[in-house]
């Protein structure tokens, strides 16, 4: 582990959590302008990725954020007075991160991989095992912290889905809800639009990007912009609440969160 500093819902009860889709609860909270608490110390895992990168930018620019600890395998190549980078290679064992995770207020976990780009064993390790291991260490170091997790559309906590991605995301979700965090937010986006030009990982992603203008008109609740998703994952952990909760945000609810905050953002987005 290396540290790089920068100077200069369903009615499902799981233990103490109330797990629900967030259409009414969180969207109404956002539209009512729920007060943002004092400055927070955030951890972002996977900030070199598409969604994690936008989450990092929003957190660094937000006056409600005191500090951001970025955890990943490679340096981000940016400098900011709020940012501390922790390089960590082996996410199968996060024990060395215990000190870096002390006294944090929330984690925004965006580490993942593309379906079809790795073997099934690697997909399970990256999607479920790494998440569960990180959550174990983070919970021990910061037991009162919130956890915002980048899951996926169709995540299945029952393990019955025929899709490996859905089973492994569901496995991670279930473990997070059982871990004992006071607040867990599970984000289940459908197609994530990259916003910035990039090299797509495979043909299906290239096709979806080409069809995005049509999809956002005909099936708006099946798409979400990467920058909007990153914003939502950070914004939800900055909101002050004393309620213990586990909320599932499907794509429709993520879009509703974003639209409810448009007056304080950069204009209308689709």
pLDDT digit string, tens, across residues 29-78 = 443 334 454 799 999 999 999 999 999 999 999 999 999 999 999 999 99
d(CA 203, CA 181): 38
d(CA 164, CA 76): 30
Grouping H, G, I as helix, E, B as strand and the rest as coil, residue 243 is coil
Indicate if the pLDDT at residue 188 is higher than 80. Answer: yes
pLDDT the model gives residue 108: 98
Indicate if the pLDDT at residue 5 is higher than 70. Answer: no
Grouping H, G, I as helix, E, B as strand and the rest as coil, residue 250 is strand
Stretch among 8-12, 69-73, 171-175, 242-246 having the lowest mean pLDDT: 8-12
Q: 214 lies in a domain?
A: yes
pLDDT digit string, tens, across residues 127-156 = 999 999 999 999 999 999 999 999 999 999
Pairwise pLDDT comparison (251 vs 191), residue with the higher score:
251
pLDDT the model gives residue 30: 41
Pairwise pLDDT comparison (54 vs 243), residue with the higher score:
54
Q: 10 lies in a domain?
A: yes
d(CA 130, CA 90): 9
Sign of the torsion formed by the C-alpha atoms of 134, 136, 142 and 148: positive
Q: 269 lies in a domain?
A: no
Domain that holds residue 37: 2-261
Indicate if the pLDDT at residue 1 is higher than 90. Answer: no
Q: Where residue 160 falls among pLDDT bands split at 50, 70, 90? A: very high
Indicate if the pLDDT at residue 14 is higher than 50. Answer: no
Q: 198 lies in a domain?
A: yes
Q: Looking at residue 68, which CATH number applies to its domain?
A: 3.40.50.720
Tokens 């200069």 belong to: 8
Backbone angles phi, psi at 18, to 5 degrees: -110, 110
pLDDT the model gives residue 268: 42
Grouping H, G, I as helix, E, B as strand and the rest as coil, residue 70 is strand
Q: 98 lies in a domain?
A: yes
Indicate if the pLDDT at residue 209 is higher than 70. Answer: no
Q: 270 lies in a domain?
A: no
Q: 246 lies in a domain?
A: yes
Q: Domain tally for the chain?
A: 1
Q: 266 lies in a domain?
A: no
Stretch among 21-35, 54-68, 91-105, 157-171 having the lowest mean pLDDT: 21-35
């Amino acid at each position: 582990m290396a540290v790089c500093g920068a100077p200069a819902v369903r009615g499902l009860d799981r233990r103490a959590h109330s797990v629900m889709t967030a259409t009414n609860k969180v969207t109404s909270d956002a539209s009512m302008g729920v007060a943002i608490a004092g400055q927070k110390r955030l951890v972002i895992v996977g900030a070199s990725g598409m969604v994690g990168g936008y989450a990092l930018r929003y957190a660094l620019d937000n006056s409600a954020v005191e500090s951001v600890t970025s955890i990943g395998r490679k340096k981000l190549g940016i400098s900011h007075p709020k940012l501390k980078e922790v390089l960590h290679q082996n996410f199968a064992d996060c024990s060395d991160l215990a000190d870096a995770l002390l006294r944090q207020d929330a984690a925004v976990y965006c580490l993942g991989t593309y379906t079809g780009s790795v073997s099934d064993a690697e997909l399970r390790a990256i999607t479920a095992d790494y998440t569960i291991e990180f959550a174990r260490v983070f919970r021990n170091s910061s037991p009162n912290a919130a956890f915002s997790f980048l899951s996926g559309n169709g995540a299945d906590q029952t393990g019955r889905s025929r899709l490996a991605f859905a089973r492994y995301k569901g496995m991670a979700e279930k473990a997070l809800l059982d871990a004992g965090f006071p607040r867990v937010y599970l984000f289940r986006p459908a197609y994530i639009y990259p916003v910035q030009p990039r090299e797509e990982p495979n043909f299906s992603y290239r096709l979806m990007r080409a069809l995005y203008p049509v999809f956002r008109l005909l099936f708006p609740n099946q798409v979400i912009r990467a920058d909007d998703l990153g914003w939502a994952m950070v914004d939800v952990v900055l909101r002050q609440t004393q309620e213990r909760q586990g909320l599932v945000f499907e794509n429709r609810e993520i879009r509703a969160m974003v639209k409810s905050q448009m007056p304080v953002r950069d204009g209308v987005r689709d």
